[in-house]
Amino acid sequence: MSDDPPEQRPPGTRGRLRGDGAGSVDTVISVDDVTREAERLAAEGPSRDEIAALAAGTPFLYIDGLVAGYGKMEILHQLDLQVGKGQSLCLIGPNGAGKSTVLHSIYGFTNITGGTISVDGRDITRLGPNAKLRDAGVAYILQDNSVFPDMTVEENLWMGGYLMDQPAKAKQAAEQVFDRYTRLAERRHQLARVLSGGERRLLEISRALVMNPEILLVDEPSIGLEPRYIDMVFEILHDLQHVDGKTIVMVEQNAKKGLEFSDIGYVLVSGQVAMAGKGSELLENPDVGRLFLGG
């Protein structure tokens, strides 16, 4: 057994993944090796038809040939992504592959120099984040800890409705969230700083729900959480997809959890889709297993 399973390793650290042999030290492969091997896989990425076939029916979120980055630095090169309404898609891949940048681009945080992003047939490529949230039903749950620690749980939720024209509407929407998550309701008057990691993540997700979005962009939902909270977060996301019909695009370092959860999985390497398949298929894929699932 490796004493450093990838699912417990924070991103950005130089970790080691177990190989596919007996799992002994000799078969451990470095992160650099993972990147090199993944780039080999990327050389023949999926066709647009394969990407289209994975999305159920007409794609709800449709990204075509996206070229995007930060300033003059191009990170995503001709990226395609398609997901049907009520489906979930998980992006996995090495650190720095551009997974978060895909979510940033959908939400409007990057410099887009080519391609299009549309939701439900409407081109939203050039909309800024506020318009995305208010008019296009796209909500983004950040990778970084984003609760306001010195505000109460209730005030944090109200912040989720900052784009609503009347504060009363935000409060009403917050009450609906409290009705659903009693765990938060019990703590509504406490400062967010006293919440446990799992409760904080719940608050982050809930805050995004205040605007009643159709599409949830979720960056690393399990990061930094104890296993029992990881399960809780995935159960909440499962309900949002299967009970509420939300469309979910997530990035997950814990590739096993992310692929188990998601209908569709993409392996992203160097700003391009290297592999695409049903989540369950990628879980069974020996290359994915060796490179991203710890053997």
Ligand X SMILES: Nc1ncnc2c1ncn2[C@@H]1O[C@H](COP(=O)(O)OP(=O)(O)OP(=O)(O)O)[C@@H](O)[C@H]1O
Binding site for ligand X (CB under 6 A): 11-12, 70, 73, 75, 93, 95-101, 253
Backbone angles phi, psi at 266, to 5 degrees: -120, 140
| Biggest CA pair distance of the chain | 62
Hey, what are 196's tokens?
């446990």
Out of Mg ion, ligand X, none, what residue 243 binds, judged by CB under 5 to 8 A for its kind, is none
- Closest to ligand X by CB, 93 vs 198, is 93
- Closest to ligand X by CB, 71 vs 121, is 71
- Closest to ligand X by CB, 7 vs 175, is 7
> CB of 140: closest distance to Mg ion in angstroms?
13
Do residues 217 and 255 make contact, with C-beta atoms less than 8 angstroms apart? no
Own/partner long-range contacts of 237-240 (Cβ < 8 Å, ≥24 apart): 237/88, 237/205, 237/261, 240/205, 240/209, 240/216
Q: Look at the chain and count its residues.
A: 295
Out of Mg ion, ligand X, none, what residue 88 binds, judged by CB under 5 to 8 A for its kind, is none
Residue type at position 138? V
- Closest to ligand X by CB, 90 vs 209, is 90
Distance of CA 209 to the CA centre of its chain: 15
> CB of 188: closest distance to ligand X in angstroms?
32
**Which residues are 139's β-sheet partners?**
216
Would you tell me which residues interact with Mg ion (CB under 5 A)? 99-100
Out of ligand X, Mg ion, none, what residue 70 binds, judged by CB under 5 to 8 A for its kind, is ligand X
Out of ligand X, Mg ion, none, what residue 12 binds, judged by CB under 5 to 8 A for its kind, is ligand X
84 vs 87: CA distance, rounded Å: 5
> CB of 269: closest distance to Mg ion in angstroms?
14
- Closest to ligand X by CB, 75 vs 282, is 75
